[in-house]
Chains A and B, each alone.
Chain A
């Protein structure tokens, strides 16, 4: 496939030549030569604007993504074969505005409900959403004496003023998810693929939601430990993790690379697994026929 792709690019003549140019950081190129649809990495290489001012990310979020990187790639940046082949992009967004709506209740451990707004402008049209996760962490390291059960309640809101229909009442979609915080757990991932799928698929550029987190102590605990208040207000307002499949030509598609061989039995199981997450099936099927045609 490499040779054929190489031939196709060489046969493309001028188009390929203009693609080859982005790497020439030696001479700045004037605007007219710049090809339109280059992914962000090449645009920056092309413009030499690596130094463009950037907002600094949240340090805890950066720590989490560095840990994710170490589990997905080697020190030299070679992707490891142990991760899910369906996604080749993971994006972490921190909320732009967090307003605490109601104070937390120490006894039941309800966190102040938090109003979150995520701007998803960096998600490109060629990136298919496969999984969405709300990522909670604690403002400082605390350890529980035993497991804690939590309920996460999400109320998705229309943006305060939607230009399309300014008079439409704010609609909201409620979503509940239960999970358990074990001792010394640093990160809590709450899968919110279901409520996010329609929003991201409808190409929403920002998502507004209310998050309530109620954590109750495990009733099996000895009475003495039970009356110690559960200080969940130490939870930092969550970040949003999107697992995506970038279908652009420059992105690495693991299931097509010769290195990634699936055993027939595994591929059958793989198909069954796909039915568990229809989005993955759609995007994978969606990608496969076009690539086969090409």
Chain B
């Protein structure tokens, strides 16, 4: 059997017609897939630093990118998302593709000066996106 094993070892791993970069392309995720992006702003840019004392920097983050056709495995998307994709591709392109939107948020603590001069520490819900989904 040594000859057969030898022959097997010399057999190319991938069909000659398909070169390596092409072969790996099928495993790469699309370049601009739906994901979380940072957007750091300071309240002085919005000219609110005369009443918002802290935090100085605020990064609400946002979701941007294309939704892959099989959204379920990575984004926790419901089956409806895939159905909407199929409708867009096969039945009616006026129905939009699923959108890349936030799925989870975290709160933000704000120290603010009230109009009467009193000072308030408050925690606001849903002020920072922490996870994206396709819907």
* B-binding residues in A (CB < 8 A): 2-3, 6, 25, 39-41, 44, 50-58, 61-62, 65-66, 68-69, 72-73, 75-79, 88-94, 119, 121-122, 246, 249-254, 257, 259
> Which single member of B55, B57, B119, B120 contacts A73 (CB below 8 Å)?
B55
6 contacts between A and B (CB under 8 A): A50-B50, A55-B117, A57-B119, A77-B110, A122-B114, A252-B107
Chain B residues proximal to chain A, CB less than 8 Å: 46-48, 50-59, 103-128
From A39, A61, A121, A249, contact of B119 by CB (8 A): A61
Other-chain contact of A2, B103, B115, B127 (Cβ < 8 Å): B103
User: Given A92-B119, A121-B116, A250-B124, are A78 and B109 neighbors across the interface (CB < 8 Å)?
Assistant: yes
A73 nearest CB neighbor, chain B only: B109
CB-based nearest A residue for B105: A2
Q: At the interface, is chain B mostly helix, strand, loop or mixed? A: strand
Question: In the complex where A72-B121, A122-B114 touch, is A62 in contact with B50 (Cβ < 8 A)?
Answer: no
Q: Which residues of A contact B126 (CB under 8 A)?
A: 2, 250
B59 contacts which of A6, A52, A76, A91 (Cβ < 8 Å)?
Answer: A76
Residues of A within 8 A of B57 (CB): 75-77
Q: A41-B110, A41-B112, A93-B118 are in contact. Are A54 and B51 (CB under 8 A)?
A: yes
Within the complex, which residue of B58, B105, B109, B116 is in contact with A119, where a contact is CB–CB below 8 Å? Answer: B116
When distances are taken between beta carbons in the complex, the residues of chain B under 8 Å from A39 are: 124
